[in-house]
Chains A and B, each alone.
Chain A
Amino acid sequence: MKKAIDFVRPALVLLIVAAIAALVLGGVSLATSGRIESIAQEKMENAMQAVLPASSYADTGYEDDGEINAIYEAPGAGWVVQVTESGSQGLVTLMVGVDVNYYCTGISVTESSETAGLGAIASQQSEKGDAFRAQFVGQTGTVAVTKEGGAIDAISGATITSKAICRGVTAALNVCRTLSVSNAIAVAAPVTGSSDASADIYVTQTVPTEAQPAPLPNTEPAPPAVNLPSAEPGTASAG
């Protein structure tokens, strides 16, 4: 009999400890989830306001394709595109404002893990960061760094990050061209509270009816985003 108890006891103690931990975690998660969500929401709205001021934004229901995460339509003003590119240390998530004539109205880096002091400048609220981001305002077609014949001065020491952001802006500008018909409807009769489903129909109808909009001379498809997980030596070895 004693042997049986010796067997069961460890499992029982482990079960109890795990159950208590699960209960506590559930409580904390319940208590914080609302706040975490509202912070994420607020952050997104701030970023959208910064790149394309508008009174309201409607999700067009664009399906995340790995590069373009989401497109929000600001009736009459243009779109805000959330796009993810791979930078030098990990993924860089951008909000790109695009006006109805497919010109960039501003960008904001919402998530990145770029090197502090170099690539991180792209997301920092500093003189250099503001200057770098301001260069994208008014860009159209293919956006590239000066080294590749474009007009964007890369952040010194952070060419990879700068290129990633250029790729993201180019992709955002291009994707908005495919939405042109949807926008015409929006301007004519503002889509009030466009539900995801109806917006989806607009998007899918756009492609077959409207012949691909004539590409600008220097428009080329953005290279596909290679979403490799960051391979930092520090993370590989468990300290």
Chain B
Amino acid sequence: MNRKQQLFEGVITNNPVLVQQIGLCATMAISTTLFNGLGMGLSVLIILTCCNVVVAAIRKIIPEQVRLAIFVVVIAGFVTIVDLLLQAFIPALSDALGVFIPLIVVNCIIIGRAEAFSSKNSVKDSLFDGIFQGLGYTAVLIAMCLIRELLGSGTIGGGLLNGASSFITLDGTGAGIRIFPQEYAAGILVLPFGGFLTLGFLYALMQHLLSKGAKKKDAKEKEVQE
């Protein structure tokens, strides 16, 4: 399998959020500061990769009738492990993400990839699929966090960066770097409503770029034919 193409598919042409349109609830709920977005993205990336590998490894012994039940057990297991590790080693992130870490169990991206990809492909391919799809998810989260945080609160890197003495704060308490005063920010963008709005605009942009890309490809193919 071509890794470059797989990466391109995971991040762009088959992006889990913007193209497959799955895993949306957490995307809209937590993408308010960079710290949350990055943490959630990386958690999903790790869980997705682990689940993909395990599902691919046992794909030949999984009976068809109970495959979904087994996927759920594997996913729930890894989610709980990540949840416990976060609580023990990055408590700030665990506090910030709250219920959304346990909710990864029902995140469609992971069970979707298990059903559509790793239950049909080798361990190696599934490993890369997990990483690339995870990167695609993280990229969208970061984009949404940047937009919502900048326009909604007038800062960049909330939780992670700090305008004051210590530049990087890993405990999630940083106030972010202020770009413009809070008074001029459209606070509605950090509310759930703003999540829908931002995601809508990102969809539009993505569809525009994809159709543009498709047209170019068509034109190229036509030229070759002529």
Contact = CB atoms under 8 A, between A and B. Distances in A.
A238 B108 contact: yes
B81 A28 contact: yes
27 contacts: A13-B66, A13-B70, A14-B69, A17-B70, A17-B73, A17-B74, A21-B73, A25-B81, A28-B85, A36-B84, A43-B91, A115-B191, A116-B32, A116-B152, A117-B33, A117-B153, A117-B187, A125-B173, A126-B175, A129-B175, A233-B28, A234-B25, A235-B99, A235-B103, A238-B103, A239-B22, A239-B24
Interface string B155-182: 1001000000000000001010000001
B65 to A, nearest CB: 5
Interface stretch (B2-10, B56-64, B113-121, B210-218): B56-64
A18 interface: yes
B58 A39 contact: no
A237 B25 contact: yes
Contacts of B182: 117, 156
A11 interface: yes
Contact of A232 (B65, B76, B192): B192
Interface string A27-69: 0110010011001000100000000000000000000000000
A36 B155 contact: no
Contact of A36 (B29, B69, B87, B108): B87
A134 interface: no
Interface of B: 22-29, 32-33, 36, 58, 61-63, 65-66, 69-70, 73-74, 76-77, 80-81, 84-85, 87-89, 91, 95, 98-99, 103, 106-108, 149, 152-153, 155, 158, 173, 175, 182-183, 185, 187, 190-192, 195
Please classify how large the interface on chain A is, using the bins under 10, 10 to 19, 20 to 34, 35 or more.
35 or more
Contact of B26 (A24, A28, A234): A234
Given A39-B88, A117-B153, A118-B187, A10 B66 contact: yes
A14 B99 contact: no
Contact of B32 (A9, A117, A233): A117
A117 B152 contact: yes
Nearest to B105: A238
A111 interface: yes
A13 B195 CA distance: 41
Given A18-B73, A238-B25, A239-B108, A32 B88 contact: yes
A90 B96 CA distance: 13
B77 A24 contact: yes
